Amino acid sequence: MSASTSTAPRIEFNPLTSAIRALAMDAVQKANSGHPGMPMGMAEIAEVLWRRYLKHNPINPQWADRDRFVLSNGHGSMLLYALLHLTGYDLTIDDLKSFRQFGSRTAGHPEVGHTAGVETTTGPLGQGITNAVGMAIAEKVLAAEFNRPGHAIVDHHTYAFLGDGCLMEGISHEACSLAGTLGLGKLIAFYDDNGISIDGDVEGWFTDDTPKRFEAYGWQVIPDVDGHQAEAIEQALLAARAEAGKPTLICCKTRIGMGSPNKADSHDVHGAPLGEAEIAATRPHINWHHAPFEIPADVYAAWDAKAKGAAAEAEWNRRFAAYAAAFPELAAEFTRRMASELPADWAGASAAAIAGIAAKAENIATRKASQNAIGAFAPLLPELIGGSADLAASNLTLWKGSKGVSKSEGGNYLYYGVREFGMTAIANGLALHGGLIPYTATFLVFSDYARNAIRMAALMKQRQIMVYTHDSIGLGEDGPTHQPVEHVASLRLIPNLDVWRTADATETAVAWAAAIERQNGPSVLALSRQNLPTVTAGVAAETIRRGGYVLSDCAGEAQVVLIATGSEVKLALDAQAALKMDGIAARVVSMPCADVFDRQDADYRASVLGKCQKRIAIEAGHPDLWRKYVGLKGAVIGIDRFGESAPAPKLFEFFGFTVANVVATVKGIL
């Protein structure tokens, strides 16, 4: 829906908003790259929120009860960088001058952990608002758990800016629908309705009635707000903050590139510098008579939020001290969790839980083993919050202590519905907020729906545990639409993502513990539908933690090394026995997580793979990853085509996952 410009009252440019516009256009011009239009168009909205209502402390960007701010339309990153700089964060004018340059703190799109004050990495449209939904859920869940009458220690808003692109992306439908269902009253989104995207006027391809859409989701919608009139913006924001039972969408009519006399309202200002001539014309038009990157002292003083932020945090600290006096155990637990620390007894308790699982030696599917691990670990970790994309009964993600989050209550389990992409990005928001460790679940084949959010979890180094069941042709009759022949291999391509494909209950429990303990990235657990026997009897958990290990060795020097994962580990052991009958000595290596194995030192990796250059990898999935381990003298038994609809045993036989084929392949390379 295009923004109307003909009837809009003339804006009186003031130095506070002109500073944003000038910094945005100057930085983009200096970089000869970037998006000046959105920062210039949202300057008034940003001024009202950031100067008057946002609860934050530039001196301590990680203050637990700060408001969270998400720039979902992250291409307009210079808006956020200008705000961070002006309000007093550790982001200098030289950083702004280095916008989009190698090694700078002002990357092309905002990156969490890279720039102080940035709450999440945005740029892939729609994921920022979805992260914001996760942050708002986290606030709701933690408030329900920790707040007590007269002691509201978790009490903050989540604000998001978003544009037409975010609303066109399907993920926004998934996330905003769930946000309405859960009644996230502390989630407030500002829609930058400027009617322009990269290709031009959006009326040619985006004519949704956005207010009605969000009303249908169960949001409070405040339509037709003049995004350049501070009083109108403030009144809308006050109405949003007064609504406790619904999230709010404030629809702001804006002009992209506002202040540019010749390029405003045009896609020309969306993703390209204004140009020296237009910048020269814009400066007097916005009453800005300063050199590039020059900000007067009085403007800095008016924007500076350090004293106000420090006072707000000090007041919260006083309230938290009173809370700690009244509820010392809750206060200690809250402090631990917001510091991302595991319980003091975690190491011993988790080791005991793994030992108990190993002692049972159950012949079960690894998805069931995963449920058992959740049941063992969740009582030790109140911060664990799970969920599944409408497949809890198949993914086995519920445990006896699961309590669903609802509109009226907190809990530790989210029924996401069929929203794989939304689920994964919401869980990223849960992790980014702090105080929670999220796990999500679906069938492995549907990880494709979530892939960019998986990638973002890895890029942002967020701890999310992704339970993906039905991991191979072993799911059988559902056929090739549901058989994930390429998915494990493709997930292993994502940097900083640990992909575990486990062979039995013990490996699964160890993978769960490793994923919980990993604080610098997400983990995938690819789990079987079919029952698998115990193969790790006598193997220490610390050995499994190394990602790859010698499961069964031979007497003397091995003539061949069999490397396997998941359900194929038992096949490798059976083939080892058959080869021994033929006088061929084989070593069996279980490699539940190649990513972890590759991080081990060279000596350890060499000790596992051995000196033998004749190696065969066995996995019911795409074979390409394994070629780096088997080399030119080895072979891979895998699947490089789509599956078939048939019972699992027939499929394993058809695709060559038999002892006879492994033995024949070994003899073929010897």
Q: Write out pLDDT tens, residues 223-240.
A: 999 999 999 999 999 999
Write the pLDDT tens digit of every residue in 286-321.
999 999 999 999 999 999 999 999 999 999 999 999
Write the pLDDT tens digit of every residue in 636-650.
999 999 999 999 999
List, as residue ranges, the binding site for Mg(2+): 164, 194, 196
pLDDT band for position 6 (50/70/90)? very low
Q: Where are the beta strands (DSSP E) in 42-120?
A: 68-71
Mean pLDDT, range 433-460, rounded to an integer? 98
Contacts of 261 (CB under 8 A, 6+ apart): 278, 281, 282, 285
Is residue 363 within 8 A of residue 534, CB to CB? The reply is: yes
Contacts of 304 (CB under 8 A, 6+ apart): 86, 87, 88
Question: Which own/partner pairs from 145-148 qualify as long-range (CB within 8 Å, at least 24 positions apart)?
Answer: 145/382, 145/410, 146/330, 146/333, 146/334, 148/323, 148/326, 148/327, 148/330
Catalytically active residues, by annotation = 420
Q: Which residues lie across from 364 on neighbouring strands? A: 532
**CA distance to 239, 322, 620, per residue, from 212 (Å):** 18, 44, 48
The percentage of the chain sitting over the pLDDT mark of 70, rounded to a whole number, equals 99
Q: Is 606 exposed, middle or buried (0-12, 13-18, 19+ CB in 10 A)?
A: exposed
Stated pTM of the model: 0.97
Mean pLDDT, range 82-97, rounded to an integer? 98
pLDDT score recorded for residue 8: 46
Strand 615-618, strand 560-564: pairing: parallel
pLDDT band for position 12 (50/70/90)? confident
Buried b (16+ CB within 10 A) or exposed e, 42-78: bbbbbbbbbbebbbbbbeebebbbbbbbbbbbbbbbb
pLDDT band for position 1 (50/70/90)? very low
pLDDT of 7 over the 60 cut: no
Mean pLDDT, range 71-85, rounded to an integer? 98
List, as residue ranges, the binding site: 35, 75, 123-125, 164-165, 194, 196, 270, 367, 394, 446, 470, 478, 482, 529
pLDDT of 582 over the 80 cut: yes
Place of tokens 């033998």: 612
pLDDT of 22 over the 80 cut: yes
Q: Where are the beta strands (DSSP E) in 10-157?
A: 68-71
pLDDT score recorded for residue 436: 98
Mean pLDDT, range 572-597, rounded to an integer? 98
Q: What is the CA radius of gyration of the chain?
A: 28
pLDDT band for position 208 (50/70/90)? very high
Mean pLDDT, range 161-181, rounded to an integer? 98
pLDDT score recorded for residue 5: 39
Write the pLDDT tens digit of every residue in 462-490.
999 999 999 999 999 999 999 999 999 99
Helix (H) / strand (E) element for 325: namely helix 306-326
pLDDT score recorded for residue 10: 66
Helix (H) / strand (E) element for 249: namely strand 248-253
Write the pLDDT tens digit of every residue in 510-554.
999 999 999 999 999 999 999 999 999 999 999 999 999 999 999
Provide the mean pLDDT of the chain.
97
List, as residue ranges, the binding site for thiamine diphosphate: 75, 123-125, 165, 194, 270, 446
In which order are the strands placed within the sheet that holds 615-618?
549-552, 586-590, 560-564, 615-618, 635-637
pLDDT score recorded for residue 11: 80
pLDDT score recorded for residue 3: 39
List, as residue ranges, the binding site for substrate: 35, 270, 367, 394, 470, 478, 482, 529
Question: Nearest Cα to 401, choosing from 390, 412, 409?
Answer: 412
